[in-house]
Copies of this chain bind each other. A is one copy, B any other.
Amino acid sequence: MSDIKKYIEENKDRFLNELFDLIRIPSISSISDHKEDMVRAAEYWKKTILAAGADYAEVSPTKGNPIVYGEKIIDPSLPTVIVYAHYDVMPVDPLDLWKQDDPFEPVIKDGKIWARGADDDKGQGFMHAKAFEYLVKTNQLKCNVKFMIEGEEEIGSPNMGEWCEQNKDRLKGDVILVSDTGMIAADVPSITVGLRGLTYLQVEVTGPNRDLHSGLFGGAVANPINILSNMISSLIDENGRITVPGFYDDVLESSAEEREALNKAPFSEDDYKKAINVEALHGEAGYTTIERTGIRP
């Protein structure tokens, strides 16, 4: 058995108990009643990072929920990896859709942990913390490691920008390892190397000052729902390309080599369709599904 598998085997129960204690803290960022739980979760993360072998860790305040910062600098001339995770979770309503009494009390079934936050993002963050612990304890750490664990990811990280600005110096690093991404499949270890951003806007279309009788006004006065449908519909052309002028100006085109490598990932379009129960996929012409969700806006 390899060294790391042995370490996992020997420490499995402790790992699980520690993760479960983190999961048990109902750190729901969108509900203000959980303000104290946010601090408790942050403090728990500080303790976890220090116990794993960090030289330093702190719970750093922001205008909202605190950000946990920690580091182990073994040699300033070596590369530095920054681990990002978040300790906040989504609300648990509606409770009756859960197949367990308490979403914050982990249940193990078929080798999987069921609980709010188990996979977004306490579990993944913990995986990185414990990998760090293993490397430190076995003297195999070959780079500097910094942790940045925020508590507002589920509400759009409103205070993270300012905090990063204020902590620019100590956030210097070579690689950011984001623990909050997906895997191609449960049996395919994956590292996501790019993420897409999000733009959203709210458009309000107003029409006449009252309900109009279609028999009297139909055909002569625009109905806001038609105008809105036209607006939505005209955003994407028949090839699935966005029609907003200038939209593609800053969109990087991946090289043929990158696209080839991307399409080598073990991805099954049939499984994908089956999983979400759709008969056909739909997107920008000239790109595969994995490209449409990976390198195209």
How distant is A42 from chain B, measured CB to nearest CB, in Å?
Answer: 25
Q: Please determine whether A217 and B293 come into contact, CB atoms closer than 8 angstroms.
A: yes
A-side residues, CB < 8 A to B, are: 182, 195-196, 198, 207-210, 212, 214-222, 225-226, 228-230, 232-234, 236, 240, 276-278, 280-284, 289, 292-293, 296-297
Q: In the bound complex, what is the Cα–Cα distance between A222 and B289 (angstroms)?
A: 12
Within 8 Å by CB of A234, from B233, B236, B240, lies: B233
Jot down 21 A-B pairs with beta carbons below 8 A, ordered by A.
Answer: A196-B218, A198-B215, A208-B277, A216-B293, A217-B276, A219-B284, A219-B293, A219-B297, A220-B281, A220-B289, A221-B281, A222-B278, A222-B282, A225-B232, A226-B232, A228-B229, A229-B230, A229-B232, A229-B233, A233-B233, A233-B234
How distant is A164 from chain B, measured CB to nearest CB, in Å?
Answer: 20
Known: A220-B292, A277-B209, A293-B220. A215 touches B234 (CB 8 A): no
Q: In the bound complex, what is the Cα–Cα distance between A276 and B216 (angstroms)?
A: 12
How many copies make up the complex? Answer: 2
Closest B residue, CB atoms, query A238: B230
Q: Please determine whether B293 and A207 come into contact, CB atoms closer than 8 angstroms.
A: no
Q: A198-B214, A209-B277, A228-B229 are in contact. List 7 more A-B contacts (CB 8 A).
A: A195-B215, A208-B277, A208-B278, A220-B289, A222-B281, A229-B232, A233-B234
How distant is A271 from chain B, measured CB to nearest CB, in Å?
Answer: 13
Closest B residue, CB atoms, query A269: B220
Within 8 Å by CB of A220, from B218, B236, B282, lies: B282
Closest B residue, CB atoms, query A217: B293
How distant is A120 from chain B, measured CB to nearest CB, in Å?
Answer: 10
Q: Please determine whether A233 and B230 come into contact, CB atoms closer than 8 angstroms.
A: yes
Give the chain B neighbours of A228 by CB distance below 8 A: 229
Give the chain B neighbours of A220 by CB distance below 8 A: 281-283, 289, 292-293
Give the chain B neighbours of A278 by CB distance below 8 A: 207-208, 221-222
Give the chain B neighbours of A215 by CB distance below 8 A: 195-196, 198
Give the chain B neighbours of A210 by CB distance below 8 A: 276
Give the chain B neighbours of A182 by CB distance below 8 A: 216
Closest B residue, CB atoms, query A272: B220
Give the chain B neighbours of A226 by CB distance below 8 A: 232-233, 236
Q: Please determine whether A293 and B195 come into contact, CB atoms closer than 8 angstroms.
A: no
Give the chain B neighbours of A208 by CB distance below 8 A: 276-278
Most buried by B among A207, A276, A292: A276
